[in-house]
Amino acid sequence: MAYGDLLCTKCNIAKPESEFYSEPRNPNRNFKRSNCKSCDAERNRRYLSLPGIKKRKAEIKRRSNRKLSYNFPPELYDQRFNEQGNCCAICKTVIAGGKGTFHADHNHQTNQPRGVLCHNCNVALGNFKDNPELLQKAIEYLNKYSEVE
């Protein structure tokens, strides 16, 4: 073991300090993790290969993002979705579309939560810039040309 090397507690091999990650809980101090980078990588590979773990991690990230970005805490999201009959608030589909999850819709001016939408309805509102006048003009346009035979 050379001077400055650290011993990995997982593989019991002495390695240079550069082969160990810094401890994230205390970035101001020069603490290193007890496992080397290659042992950490192997542990992460095994963890991510567990059935359903990627989906669970993705859902946790989505729920956190809804709360932080859209002021839509998980309890409110679940409540609104249940009140809507577990479907899109606009078209009533039970198929989320897009990446497979329903979207937390919110007012872009006030950041207040509104409802839960499928991918298509959420994108449609976004494309119309949440503007009721534009949506009304689109309805009039569709009605005008739906009467033509």
The pLDDT tens digits for 125-140 are: 999 999 999 999 999 9
pLDDT of residue 121: 95
Q: Are 54 and 62 in contact (CB under 8 A)?
A: no
Q: Are 15 and 36 in contact (CB under 8 A)?
A: yes
For residue 48, is pLDDT > 60?
A: yes
Beta strand pairing call for 113-117 and 14-15: unpaired
For residue 59, is pLDDT > 90?
A: no
Rg (CA), the chain: 25
pLDDT of residue 148: 62
Coil, helix or strand at residue 133: helix
For residue 54, is pLDDT > 60?
A: yes
Rounded Cα distance, 103 and 86, in Å: 12
The pTM of this model reads: 0.64
For residue 149, is pLDDT > 60?
A: no
In CATH terms, the fold of domain 53-146 is His-Me finger endonuclease fold (3.40.1800)
Q: pLDDT: is 147 or 66 the higher one?
A: 66
71: burial class by Cβ within 10 Å (0-12, 13-18, 19+)? middle
pLDDT of residue 27: 61
